[in-house]
Chains A and B, each alone.
Chain A
Amino acid sequence: MVKLAAKCILAGDPAVGKTALAQIFRSDGTHFQKNYTLTTGVDLIVKMVPVPDTGDSVELFIFDSAGKELFSEMLDTLWESPNVLCLVYDVTNEQSFSNCSKWLEKARSQVPGTSLPGVLVGNKTDLAGRRAVDAAQAHEWALGQGLEFFETSVKDTKNYEAPFQCLARQFHQLYREKVEVFHALA
């Protein structure tokens, strides 16, 4: 049995629902924050995620930091040495999706020469009438970037666990691969 620990950074434009996603995950679907508050510093959410069929688990240390440009210098410190990335956009906001490539680049620049497992999450699917980002298009972009793709509605507590479970699985897989490398070197 192995207990891994992973630093997970949440990235994406302001108001796409990063904090709401983290909080609903922390509270197992019981806490949806109705009023928007701009995240200015950082919130740390720690949660154990079991990896199915293994007996192993990954403790995710989710760094929920500000999406607002104003705080971007602080991110260089807060985002130091990430293990996994959760990239969030709002399906009703085209701009928040197109900015994902910028966020992804910033996250990857934290770990040059090392892979950074990640997921792309389109949030707010409950606002179906205002959808501006096509799921298929987003999925295709995610695949091209080596990210797994999910759509969620934090408001309807829909699919909010899947992205984190996927990150835990990816990190666990990465560990197994590295242990193979360590074996081969011995």
Chain B
Amino acid sequence: MSSATTTATTTISTVGPPSRRNTELALLVFAVVIPCFAYANVGLALSDEMPSGMLGYGVGLGLLAGVGHLVVRKFAPYADPLLLPLATLLNGLGLVLIWRLDQSERLARTAKFQGFTFQASAPNQLLFSAIAIALFVAVLVFLKDHRILQRYTYISMVVALILLVAPIFFPGKNGAKIWIVIPGLGSIQPGEFAKIILAVFFAGYLMVKRDALALASRRFMGLYLPRGRDLGPIIVVWVLSLLILVFETDLGTSLLFFGMFVVMLYVATERTSWIVFGLLMSAGGAAVVGTFEPHVHVRVMAWLHPFDVFTTGQGTEQIAQSLFAFGSGGVFGTGWGQGHSDLISFAANSDFIFATVGEELGLAGTMAMLLVYGLIVERGVRTALAARDPFGKLLAVGLSAAFAIQVFVVAGGVMGLIPMTGMTMPFLAQGGSSVIANWALIAILMKISDTARRPAPAPAPSPDAEMTQVVRP
């Protein structure tokens, strides 16, 4: 530590950074051991014996982390040392949580009762994690420089729009149309991928347009008011996100995209007025749609009166059960495997997985998890500060903002702070698209931080060296 504390650090970039890959390796071992501990704990609590899949699971997670680490060593040697261990820890704990809920007899019985065959989700999730790590590796290997993405600014806009619009043409599940169903293969949630692609578009677009958005404005009551025509982009994105809310009836996706755009607009222009406009517009839009659109209205009512279901018998008791779970967890929780969060029944291991954390790990564990998410976001923003090109800065900010907003929207929904949405907790929740997309997001952030922290190339030979030679007779 003494070398680190005496090293003169500036507030912006890490001066003369060692690559810190060994730090990453140590943290990574730690991040694999913690989920193994949790896994053993669940087994001991549920059936008094070490779970049989322990070895396979631990080796599987370790292998994934190891492959990720080796590829980072080779292809992004100067990348941030924290992102990979933090994401690995979350992914590992997510696997344990899903496996723990697989063991619940109550969930199995409910599924049978409703005519489904109950399937364990943990093996699938491990498979998706493997695919996700493969994509992580692919991004690190093939994305030589994040600035290449800048060339695809408008292509990514089109792709993102297609991804966002596509779910409308597929049947909705549980009211929200956020899925593309491929017959025989399963379904994907395109919104998860669209957030990365949209961040690329916003970064490329705002980098070009930001001067017009920042400079041409009048000052009024301490706020810079943009000119009417400069309001164009924000209005377009706002209308789009409202359309998502109306046609896909998903508040989460809508909030995510609008929020990400406003954050990036603010970062690009340094004008607080955009935040004010953004908040007003999203609040106004959500209020109007929440009143008139029936499905969204149901969700808002379930949020405002979660316990009505017990008196009137109408609606879902998921939110109430989730609040009970958090309540019965208390400060230190009930311990792994000893809670009753499976009472949430439907979507207990996807949308509502954070309630299991709340019940079995308590406030202490929930705070630790949120801090881990916070650290990922912090590393992302830090990467943005250190990046030496405007596009990289904006992209890193956009990706971390998307990640942060997603965590806020999901955790807020489960805890009853905002209406419940169809988004998933990154890395924790069961669901392939989410895990895969978020590992890709981490890979891009690591690539940017690798470029930002890499010492500049070796000194070029001075052009005027050895130009004149003294020829002695």
**Mutual binders A and B:** no
Interface residues of B (CB under 8 A from A): none
Interface residues of A (CB under 8 A from B): none
